[in-house]
Each structure stands twice: as C-alpha cells, then as structure tokens.
Structure 1
Amino acid sequence: MIREAEITDKNQLFELYKMLVPNSKKMNVVEEQIEKIRRDPNNFLFVYDVRGQILGTLTLNICLQALHGSRPYGIVENIIVHEHYRSKNIGKKLLQYAERYCKSIDCHRIMLLSNSRRQKAHQFFEREGYDGSISKGFKKYF
C-alpha cells in the first residue's frame, strides 16, 4: 500500500536513503521533518508499505507558478526502492501514485532529477515516460 510517511518510519527511511546516497555524510532523517512534511498541503513523503516494511519512497513537492495561470507543477525527489525489491513495479507504482495526484490538482507538468551516474534509474524513468533530453538540471549545494 502507498501512504504518507509517519514518524515511526524514520529508521526504515534512513536505511532506504543510505541505498540512494551511500556515501552521504550529511544525511539526517528526523521525526520532526517527517511530521512537518505530513502537515504541509504541498509536500508529500510517500512510502510503499508491505505489512509494516517500507520497500520504497519518494518525495513529491507541489510548486506554484505564474506562467500557466493557476496550474502548479510537481517535483519528484529522492525516489528509491529497496535494493532487494527492485524490478517488482514498486517504483512504477510510486511514480503513478504521484502522477495521479498531480493530475487531480491540474498540475501543468511533473519533473524529476536523477544523479547523472544512475543509468539504470534513467532507463526506468524513460520507460515511465520521462524525457531526459528536454532539460538539463543544475544543482548548487550549501
């Protein structure tokens, strides 16, 4: 089942994020932030839960803009499926869930960024209809 994350998911989220960014020295999953996201009407931390085991997650942020009238857009971040459960449509189901929500609120588009070295993830995103050739992403870390 896909649901919004709860503070009790903290440790399992941390383990998933370690698979996403294994060498991160800055990773810090805190209960207060999970709860803050849960209360925010424009931010979502979705998890794929099978009998209490979190097998995947993604973050969806809804962003307002002035370019397309009142239509917002969605940004998917930090999508990860547990390494032992990949190729079982969990990532697909998470993305479809986020897409359905974006369509339900009349989003103009949905986009995501992926580390340039994650070739298998890029192939997955392309199979799901995301075009990596349209835009070039830039990041600046602080």
Structure 2
Amino acid sequence: MAEVAIRDLGVGDVDALLALYEHLNAGDARPSPEAVKAVFAHPGLCHFGLFVGDVLTASCNLAVIPNLTRGGRSYGVIENVVTHVDHRGQGYGQAVIRHAIEQAWAAGAYKVVLTTSRKDPAVWAFYERCGFDSGDKRAFVIRRPATA
C-alpha cells in the first residue's frame, strides 16, 4: 500500500495541482506564470496537498485573515477542496480538510469558514462529517459580471 502524506504545496507543485483542479472545475483557464507566483507568495494563504505515494490526490487551500473583532483573532477560509474522482470515498478529502483546520487553529483563528457551490446533499453531508455546521451562518455570493 502506498504511503499517504499531507504537505504544503509550492510553485513546483502547480502542474499537479492544476491537473487535480480538473476534477473540481473542468476546463478552467490556466493561470499565467505571474499569477501562480503571486498566489503562492500571498501571505496567509496556504495550499495543502494529500499525496498517495507521489501522486497528488486531494487538496484544499486555507486563507488566514487578520481581524479586528473577536479580540483581534484571525479567521480561516477553506476553498478549492478537491479529491481526484478515482480516490473519493477513501477519507482523503476529510484528511486534507482536517489538516487545514489544524493549521488554522495553530495560526490562532477563532473559526474556519467553508463554502461550496455544489448542490448535492451528499457533498453537504461530507462537510458536516468534517465538523462544519451548515446552520451556523448564511453565505451570500456575488460574482463579477462578465466583460464584453
């Protein structure tokens, strides 16, 4: 059985990460090299990858955001949660999310927020199994209008 490990991702992992993102949002435009460098250099933003052997199998990112409420304690936002379609249901997604939550607590965050655009109740149940409470807050989203 292959070894499973979770680690921080860096610029050198971008090809594997973008390939994994095809299982999240198929057909997304590839970011420029400059955008990749800027994302990985952004303070407070971490990308975590779960590897089975040397294959990136699951990932998420965590932004830890400074805050002036709650006694000045930061909060975390987890986004871009994805597990390769061939490896779902094996606990890899939960493991990488738990890792991100632990990192948020280590950074002093008082809460972690996660949103999903998926409408599948099984996906919602997955996040609840990870410890998230769908009834605690309500999320609202606005997207930038397409430019002509």
Alignment TM-score, normalising by the size of structure 2:
0.83
Task: Report what 1:49 is aligned to.
Answer: 51
- Contact kept? 2:75, 2:104, Cα under 8 Å: yes
Aligned length: 140
- Contact kept? 1:48, 1:55, Cα under 8 Å: yes
How many percent identity over aligned positions? Answer: 21
The residue correspondences of 1:98-117 to structure 2 (distance < 5 A) are: 98-117=100-119
What SS does the corresponding residue of 2:123 show, helix, strand or coil? helix
What SS does the corresponding residue of 1:57 show, helix, strand or coil? strand
Please point out which of 60, 65, 68 is paired with 2:67.
65
The alpha-carbon deviation at position 139 of structure 1 amounts to 1.5
Distance 1:93 1:32, change over 3 A: farther
Instruction: Show structure 2 runs of 5+ residues with no match.
Output: none
Task: Report what 1:126 is aligned to.
Answer: 128
Alignment partners' CA distance in 1, 2:46 and 2:82: 15
Deviation track 1:26-52 (CA, whole Å, cap 9, x = no partner) reads x32444444434333300011112232
| Bigger mean CA deviation after superposition, 32-41 or 72-81 | 32-41
Task: Report what 1:140 is aligned to.
Answer: 142
Q: CA RMSD in A?
A: 1.9
Task: Report what 2:78 is aligned to.
Answer: 76
Instruction: Show structure 1 runs of 5+ residues with no match.
Output: none
Distance 1:103 1:19, change over 3 A: same
Alignment partners' CA distance in 1, 2:27 and 2:37: 26
Alignment partners' CA distance in 2, 1:53 and 1:125: 24
- Contact kept? 2:64, 2:107, Cα under 8 Å: no
Task: Report what 2:23 is aligned to.
Answer: 19
The alpha-carbon deviation at position 106 of structure 1 amounts to 1.8
What SS does the corresponding residue of 2:51 show, helix, strand or coil? strand
Alignment TM-score, normalising by the size of structure 1:
0.86
